[in-house]
Amino acid sequence: MLLRIEHLGIAVESLETSIPLFEKLLNTPCYKKERVESEGVNTAFFKVGPNKIELLEATHPDSPIAKFLQTKGKGFHHVAFETSNLDEEIERLLQNGFELIHLTPKTGADEKRIAFLHPKSTEKLLVELCQDQ
């Protein structure tokens, strides 16, 4: 079951440049930075009320974020939904015809278990599913 929007992901070229901009925009400090090797990104998080914004910076030119920036440029990258049971949610979505980028959940930012739906099955929207470990 999907519980809520967990965060919105925004692709940026440089956290060094983008963090101060988003601190001014959101009127709140960045509360956490993290490197996620499995996704090839450095992340920075902001809290806006009960919601989070995640900035994503590529760590190498072959990472998914680097490829996204090359083809689409900076901006909105994905929406992440929190789920109470990631494995059940993956199965439910597969049964309903959705395609996943990877069928086996992996560890993402905030030590959450994550899986991504392929954009070709979601009207070109990249959807992340996440669950606390």
Query: Distance between CA atoms of 65 and 80, rounded to whole angstroms?
Result: 15
User: Per residue in 35-93, pLDDT tens?
Assistant: 999 899 999 999 999 999 999 999 999 999 999 999 999 999 999 999 999 999 999 99
Q: Tokens 């606390």 appear where?
A: 132
Spatial separation of the C-alpha atoms in residues 98 and 133, rounded to whole Å = 24
Q: What integer pLDDT is reported at residue 9 of this predicted model?
A: 97
Instruction: Please give the helix or strand (H or E) that residue 20 lies within, else none.
Output: helix 15-26
DSSP single-letter state for residue 100: B
* Residue bearing the bigger pLDDT, 125 or 133: 125
As a whole number of angstroms, the distance between CA 22 and CA 70 comes to: 22
